[in-house]
Structure 1
Amino acid sequence: MSTKFYALFIMGCFLPFILVAQSHFVFQEQNVAPGTHQQFKIKVSDGVDSTFIPVSVFHGSKPGPVLGITAGVHGYEYAPILAAQQIARQIDPATLSDTVILVHLANVPSFLGRSPYVNPLDEKNLNRVFPGKADGSLTEQMAYQITQEVIARSDYFLDMHSGDAPEDLRPYVGYYSSERFPKASQKGEAMARALGFDHIVVFDVAAERIDEPSLYCSQEAFHRQIPSADIECGSLGAVQTQDVQPIVDGVINLLRHLEMMAGEAASLNSPIFIRERPSVISPQDGIFYPLKTSGEYVSEGMKVGYITDFFGENPVDVFANASGIILYIIGTPPINKGETLLRIGLIASSGTKK
């Protein structure tokens, strides 16, 4: 065998391995080597106030997809934030396929300020300003950084939430679906099934809605044709093991489903799908007395609570406006006119329309 032929033979044997060799993952102008992870703090400032976004990047030793995950878009929703800490400890980049970009806490000002729904520094809801603005308010800049650094770089995207301070919430997952993006919709449904929650909400997006600002974190991903899902697990701003562990288990199973982590993914064959979620709106300010809890089934016209004035008098009854399951209901006394008192999930026959 000639030396030239031998060299070509050796190159032919090793070329497939050379072609699939994993390269560095560049994040915030830093190289994350294959099989390693790094922690970052993305700095955000509007010239008056400043904050940061803590992110862990796990770059696997093998090629594969990039999964973006956000927790703490609402800083008073604690279960996903604590779940993110556990998820980070269970990801081994040495055996991971490609990359997980994990935002531990998207809204640090809301978290430290114990502020439901909004960033107390500018009173804006981070989950209503996506894709954000590079030169906007602090919250808009936070959304912009998450959009550019995490969402835009992901092949799949997961946003993790729970019931905020006043919300008694039943656990479920959701995914985005639109006739405009059938492949992303079908992959989103597969993500939702892999997350392992028995109730799945389908966020149907009208074709024309795709051309408008996304507003929501995971919807921004879907607008970019990235399969997107949400977790909703946890209630009333509290932290319970029974809320944290299903989130952790669901994400690990999702990583197996995406073939990013070793192990066989569990399959949820018969989830309950929900396509419509009518809201019951408060007719007045006052004190709310719920008579039902999340997860209960109600019939249209059923009394679900009542509102009194601030003297505890003149009660006004509140009735269900549809038949279905209560996904969440206000579980604390204060209520303002025009606020959502509860949201009812209407049971559907299937998920994504094929």
Structure 2
Amino acid sequence: MTAPSPITPTIDFDAEGAHYGHLRLPFSRDDSAWGHVMIPVACLKNGDGPTVLLTGGNHGDEYEGPLALAGLSREIDMTAMTGRAIFLPFMNHPAVMAATRTSPIDGGNLNRLFPGRPDGTVTQKIADYVARHLVPLADLVLDIHSGGRTLDFLPFAASHILPDKAQEAACAAARDAFGAPYAMSLLEIDAAGMLDTTVEEMGKVFVTTELGGGGTATARTVAIARTGVRNVMAHAGVLPGPVAPARSVRLDMPSGDCFVFADAAGLVEPCADLGDRVQAGDVIARVHAPERLGAAPVEHRAKLSGLLAGRHFPGKVQMGDCLAVVAVPTD
């Protein structure tokens, strides 16, 4: 028998109206023996209808989700809604407060720890509560990501290839409704422990994004997130009408050849920029060793033809880092 979650919500997710509170997680520590991790949450409910779960801050150095969702949770016109929207803008709140990908409390990467454990670490307990108590309420889950401090992406919404083709089509339709400049059929390096996998295994509609990166947000990427959230809510039937219908450029990641990983550590010389077309065999980056002169840089080449959709952001890489992502336009 699974243990109960130690997390207690301070709001009632079944109550009508707009409610703002916290997920309260006991956390005993040196500076507060009976302290708590307090994770902000909002629930907007207007009658019977579908439920959307809207999450950001899965990683603490990605800002479009937190900014867009925190604002929209205050601004959406309740009288126009049908159903329920649950806003969790700062899902890994300790990581958001530290501006780090992983939690400063336990080093946990929330998006590698689903479905979590109620008797585990702080991050595992957060994953467990989301997986067991919030996802089951939802018909559709939107989890907003960007590249954080170490990656940068073309702004895209994404869905996955799934065994259930009807579910796959429903996820792709929600992805397209988001209306990002690009729409990706996403191939994960490792899907184990991700919120994506947990939601999809429950048969739910799941959409994610990568909306930029570099450890910051821009006016453009936040605007894409805000419009995309409204469009997905409209697609789900929670809000009326699409806000800004747009046709995205469709991209595919057909195999692991989309990824280029650094074969050496050093300083990165980009040879292509995001959105550039590259051909298989093109040099897309060179890695220079800063320890000595006279040695040729290590060249890294595209394995297939397409668009440069993602890249390592800092100017220095370690061996094994993801250096670039090439996606194939399918339009």
Task: Give the TM-score normalised by structure 2.
Answer: 0.87
Name 1:346's counterpart in structure 2. Answer: 328
SS in 2 for 1:273: strand
- Cα deviation, 1:220-240, whole Å, max 9, x if unaligned, reads 111100010112112211221
Measured at CA, do residues 343 and 45 of structure 1 come closer, stay the same or move farther in structure 2, by a change above 3 Å?
A: farther
Q: Counterpart amino acid of 1:174?
A: A
1:173-322 maps to which residues of 2 (within 5 A)? 173-179=157-163, 181-203=164-186, 214-264=192-242, 266-268=244-246, 271-276=249-254, 278-311=258-291, 313=293, 314=295, 315-322=297-304
Q: How does 1:1-354 map to 2 (within 5 A)?
A: 28=9, 30-31=11-12, 35-45=16-26, 47-48=28-29, 51-60=37-46, 62-115=47-100, 117-179=101-163, 181-203=164-186, 214-264=192-242, 266-268=244-246, 271-276=249-254, 278-311=258-291, 313=293, 314=295, 315-348=297-330
2-side partners of 1:85 and 1:76: how far apart?
Answer: 16
Is residue 254–residue 265 contact of structure 1 (8 Å, CA) maintained in 2? no
Provide the rounded CA distance (Å) in 1 between the counterparts of 2:41 and 2:106: 22
Q: Distance in 2 between the 1:64 and 1:255 partners?
A: 12
Distance 1:184 1:214, change over 3 A: farther
Q: Which portions of structure 1, spanning 4 or more consecutive aligned residues, are displaced by more than 4 angstroms?
A: 32-35, 45-50, 264-270
Query: Which amino acid counterpart does residue 156 of structure 1 have in structure 2?
Result: L
Structure 1, residues 46-86: CA drift from partner, whole Å, max 9, x if none?
655852321111111x3111100110101101122111122
- Gaps spanning 5+ residues in structure 2: where? 1-7, 31-35
What do the CA deviations read for 1:136-178 (whole angstroms, capped 9, x no partner)? Answer: 1221111112212321211111100112112121101111331
Deviation at 1:267, TM superposition (A): 4.3
Residue matched to 1:20 = none
Name the stretch that deviates more: 263-272 or 143-152: 263-272
Amino acid at match of 1:57: C
CA RMSD of the aligned region, Å?
2.4
How many pairs were matched up? 314
2:155–2:212: 8 Å Cα contact kept in structure 1? yes
Query: Cα deviations across residues 191-228 of structure 1 (Å, max 9, x unaligned)?
Result: 011101242222469xxx9xxx8511122111100010
Contact map agreement 1:161 1:231 (CA 8 A) in 2: yes
| 1:280 match: secondary structure | strand
Between the two proteins, what is the percent identity of the paired residues? 22
TM-score, scaled to structure 1: 0.81
CA distance in 1, matches of 2:321, 2:313: 13
For residue 20 of structure 2, what is the amino acid of its counterpart? Q
Distance in 2 between the 1:111 and 1:265 partners? Answer: 29
**What is the CA–CA distance in structure 1 between the aligned matches of 2:237 and 2:93, rounded to whole Å?**
32
Q: Is the 8 A contact 2:251 2:327 kept in 1?
A: no
